[in-house]
Amino acid sequence: FLNNKKQKYWIIKQEDGYHNCFMLYAIDFFPIPLDDGSSFALPYSCYEYIKMAESDGTLIDVIQVRQPFGCNGFIRGKFDTRYLSMGITYEVAFVIMLPEAVCAGPIPPAACGMAFVRPSLCGGPPQRHEHLLDDKPKDEWIRLLAGRLKMARNNGMLEISLGGIQPGAIIKGVIIEPVF
């Protein structure tokens, strides 16, 4: 774990070498109102931090949504790409859980995206993906793709966002892993 359990780091060994991987936990992200976009957090009535156990038993903070982020705002975080392995294509995805108890009716789609804070330095246009959640598994962690990026020499700050999430849903964080 890194940064007071806000991030997790591990290495995957492949034939072509060793590649860095990261999990950015929800505690490292910021719920933001749509009308502001940067400086104020959503009121705590929209979400709460709860403790959940990782597969190894370690307790982590996750976000449980109380009100739809699609109406009130979104969750956003940043990651410094200099820690990723050069020349490797990475997949960036939110890890969420949809509890069966809160999914009785239709589930609105969720939107994930990612962009470099200064795209002129790092390249790559902003990416956005809409995910239909009705057919996704319930009561287990699922991934919602935010985007893919190939690491070049230029490093930069990657901004990742998620909106339109169902009340009751649990957000673990963002996983960044190589695509092989």
What lies within 8 Å, CB to CB, of 133 at 6+ separation is 98, 107, 108, 109, 110, 166
Residue-range domain boundaries for the chain: 7-178
Find the Cα–Cα–Cα–Cα dihedral 29, 30, 34, 35, rounded to 10°.
Answer: -150
Left (φ > 0), alpha (ψ -120 to 50) or beta: where does 153 sit? alpha
pLDDT at residue 92 is higher than 90 = yes
Helix or strand holding residue 32 (H, E): strand 30-33
- Report which of residues 3 and 49 the model is more confident about: 49
pLDDT digits (tens, 9 = 90+) for 97-153: 999 887 777 888 888 898 887 655 555 788 999 999 988 999 999 999 999 998 877
Distance, C-alpha 119 to centroid of its chain: 20
* Tokens read off for 56: 């190894």
Confidence class for position 72, pLDDT limits 50, 70, 90: very low
Write down the pLDDT at residue 12. 94
Write down the pLDDT at residue 76. 85
The amino acid present at 19, given as its one-letter code, is: H
Write down the pLDDT at residue 36. 46
Confidence class for position 163, pLDDT limits 50, 70, 90: confident
| pTM exceeds cut of 0.75 | yes
* Alpha helix (H) residue ranges in the chain: 69-72, 119-122
7-178 CATH pick, 3.40.10.10, 2.60.120.260, 3.40.309.10, 3.20.20.70? 2.60.120.260
Q: What is the number of alpha carbons within 13 Å of residue 169 lying toward its C-beta?
A: 32
Write down the pLDDT at residue 144. 96
Write down the pLDDT at residue 96. 95
CA–CA gap between residue 171 and residue 61 (Å, rounded): 9
Q: What is the number of alpha carbons within 13 Å of residue 99 lying toward its C-beta?
A: 10
Q: How many helices (H) and strands (E) does the chain have?
A: 2, 12
Q: Residue 175 in contact with residue 148, Cβ under 8 Å?
A: no
* Tokens read off for 64: 């449980």
